[in-house]
Amino acid sequence: MGGLDELAKAVGAPAPSEDLDDAGRWELYRAGLAHGGAAIEPLIEVLRVEPDECLVDAVLWAFVESVTSREGRAVALSLPAGERRRPTLEAHAADVDLLASILGGVPVQRGDVVNWSRWVQERVTARCTDLPVLSQIAAEGTTRRVRAEAVERIRQLETDAASRQHDPSALRHLVAHGSTHAIRRLAAARLRAIDAEPGRAEAVRRSLVGPISQLPGVTSAEVTGRISDSVEDLYVRFAHEAHDLMVWRNIRLGSSRVFIDGAQADRVPDSDLLWLVEGVAADSVTIGVDRFTVRGPDGVERVVEFE
pLDDT at 104 > cutoff 90:
yes
Q: In what order do the strands lie in the sheet with 257-260?
A: 218-224, 234-242, 245-254, 257-260, 263-264
Cβ neighbours, 10 Å, residue 251 = 22
Packed helices 144-164 and 131-140: angle between N→C axes, nearest 10 degrees: 150
Q: Please list the residues that pair with 258 across neighbouring strands.
A: 253
The predicted-structure confidence for 135-183, as pLDDT tens digits, reads as follows: 999 999 999 999 999 999 999 999 988 887 777 667 777 888 888 888 8
Q: Where are the domains of the chain?
A: 2-99, 107-193, 200-305
Report the half-sphere exposure of 303 (CA within 13 A, side-chain side).
5
Residue 112 near residue 81 (C-beta atoms within 8 A): no
pLDDT at position 143, please? 95
The average pLDDT across 111-137 equals: 95
Percent of the chain with pLDDT over 70: 61
Contacts of 305 (CB under 8 A, 6+ apart): 265, 266, 290, 291
Dist CA 46 CA 80 (whole Å): 13
Contacts of 302 (CB under 8 A, 6+ apart): 268, 269, 272, 293, 294, 295, 296
Separation in Å, CA 306 to CA 34, 259, 265, 274: 66, 9, 6, 19
**The whole model's pTM is what?**
0.59
pLDDT at position 228, please? 47
The predicted-structure confidence for 146-158, as pLDDT tens digits, reads as follows: 999 999 999 999 9
The kind and range of the H/E element at 226 are none
pLDDT at position 36, please? 84
Residue type, 63: F
CA 212 to chain centre: 38
Residue 60 near residue 92 (C-beta atoms within 8 A): no
In terms of pLDDT, which residue wins out, 263 or 125? Answer: 125
The predicted-structure confidence for 214-257, as pLDDT tens digits, reads as follows: 655 666 666 665 544 444 455 556 566 554 455 555 555 544 44
Cα radius of gyration rounded to whole Å, the chain = 31
